[in-house]
Structure 1
Amino acid sequence: MALDMDTNELLVIGYFDLLIHQVHGEWATKNKKILLYVNLAQRLCKKFRKIEFQHTPRAQNEFADALATIASMIQHPESSHIDPLRISLKEEHAHCFHVEAEPYGKPWYNDIKMYLEKWEYLEGITNGEKKNIRRMANGFFLNKEILYKQTPDLGLL
């Protein structure tokens, strides 16, 4: 895409340090599947007047990962013009904007959070409802004020 835009100088930022060193020719490429990719990248590098590679650790690259995910979901038009994205950073996590309150003013997870936080139940609930709350609470993790859903691989949502 950079070549199609007649770009002469390019800064490539990547989190895969091994690949950056392989494209530079500093490290050997043993994996045959990656060798074709490295060779193609090296040929493309020669088409720029100046190209620079910068390593960014993956942990510091969350924003770029999010943009790449968004870009992979968008149908690109046939024209070379793509409207710019308007991105704003929020003070709260995105999930805070999508939780709907129940009619009594509390979110659906209130009973689970209260149980994990204080080991208490709402007044007037039955033993069956208490058992259900305890069972559901096993699938959640409370970190300060944020309630996370645990996935089978111990990830947190």
Structure 2
Amino acid sequence: MEEYEACAMGLRVAIERKVKVLKVYEDSSLVVYQLRGEWETKDPKLVEYRKLILELVKEFEEITFTFLPREYNQMADVLVILATIFQVNKRANMIPIKMQVYETLAQCYSVEEEDDGHLWYYDILQYIKHQTYSQQASKIDKRTIRRMVVGYVLDGKILYRKGSDQVLIRCVNAREARSILEEVKRDMWNT
């Protein structure tokens, strides 16, 4: 339902800006295939959203809906960031934004020290190991920790966070993080 709401909101913005040709990239296969008419819409809530979007679609001369899996949808994140940066006069025409894709990744990082002497993942580790909380943990903190631990795996003494693609990402302290980043930076400059 949220995907339909986001799609409808995006279409309304495009209509408001008098866009006539639009390519919609959506990371919900359900929404894309239902809007294309390739899949049947059975859920009564979704039927109403589909009707709404199909009414909005009539405002465009040409519109296409393309399924783009979430892991390949980095462009959406970039466009959201750009949209928050630029202010455009409503009467002015939009100037096309030209983008290039580089093979080398840009690196941006921030390493924060642990203020209380504990690792940043200390509470998560304690709950996974012993099902205990710190003494100052509130009810909300406890509930948050219980929700968070689902995304972590302990292998021996090493804690990993599960990535969205189920790849395990090792949890490290600030010193280890700086060391890893320096090594990566050295390797990048030496290639």
- Compute the TM-score of the two structures, normalised by the length of structure 2: 0.43
**The residue matched to 2:31 in structure 1 has which SS?**
helix
Q: 1:29 aligns with which of 35, 38, 41?
A: 41
1:136 deviation in Å? 4.5
Question: Gaps spanning 5+ residues in structure 2: where?
Answer: 1-12, 125-147, 153-160, 162-168, 172-191
Quick one: structure 1 residues 81 and 21, their matched pair in 2 at CA, closer, same or farther if it must change by over 3 Å? Answer: same
Pick closer, same or farther for the CA change 1:69–1:5 going to 2, 3 Å. Answer: closer
Q: Give the AA of the match of 2:30.
A: L
Deviations 1:15-55 (A, max 9, x none): 11111111122211122222221111111112211111121
Contact 1:20 1:55 in 2 (8 A): yes
TM-fit CA distance, 1:69: 7.2
Please, which of 59, 64, 70 is the counterpart of residue 47 of structure 1?
59
Give how far 1:65 is off: 3.6
TM-score, with structure 1 as normaliser = 0.50
Task: Check if 1:80 corresponds to 2:90.
Answer: yes
**Counterparts of 1:42 and 1:138, CA distance in 2:** 47
Find the counterpart in structure 2 of residue 60 from structure 1: 72
Unmatched tracts of structure 1, length 5 or more: 101-107, 110-131, 141-150
Aligned residue number for residue 94 of structure 1: 108
Residues 49-97 of structure 1 show CA distances to partners (whole Å, capped at 9, x for unaligned) of 11111211111013414644786xx5x98x6379999x998845432xx
Structure 1 moving runs of 4+ over 2 Å: 65-71, 79-85, 87-95, 135-140
Letter in 2 for 1:43: E
For 2:44, the aligned partner's letter is K
How far apart, CA to CA, are the structure 2 residues paired with 1:33 and 1:15?
20
Name the SS of the counterpart of 2:16 in structure 1. Answer: coil
How far apart, CA to CA, are the structure 2 residues paired with 1:40 and 1:91? Answer: 40
More helix by share: 2
CA gap 1:81/1:63 in 2 versus in 1, 3 angstroms = farther
Count of aligned residue pairs for this structure pair: 112
Change over 3 Å in CA distance of 1:12–1:138 after alignment to 2:
closer
Corresponding residue for 1:3?
15
Question: Percent same amino acid at aligned positions?
Answer: 25
Looking at structure 1, the residues matched to 76 and 23 of structure 2 have their Cα atoms a distance apart, in angstroms, of: 14
Taking structure 1 as reference, are residues 66 and 5 closer, same or farther at Cα in structure 2, changes over 3 Å only? closer
The 2-side partners of 1:8 and 1:64 are apart by 20
Rg bigger for which structure?
Answer: 1
What code does the residue aligned with 2:50 have?
Answer: V
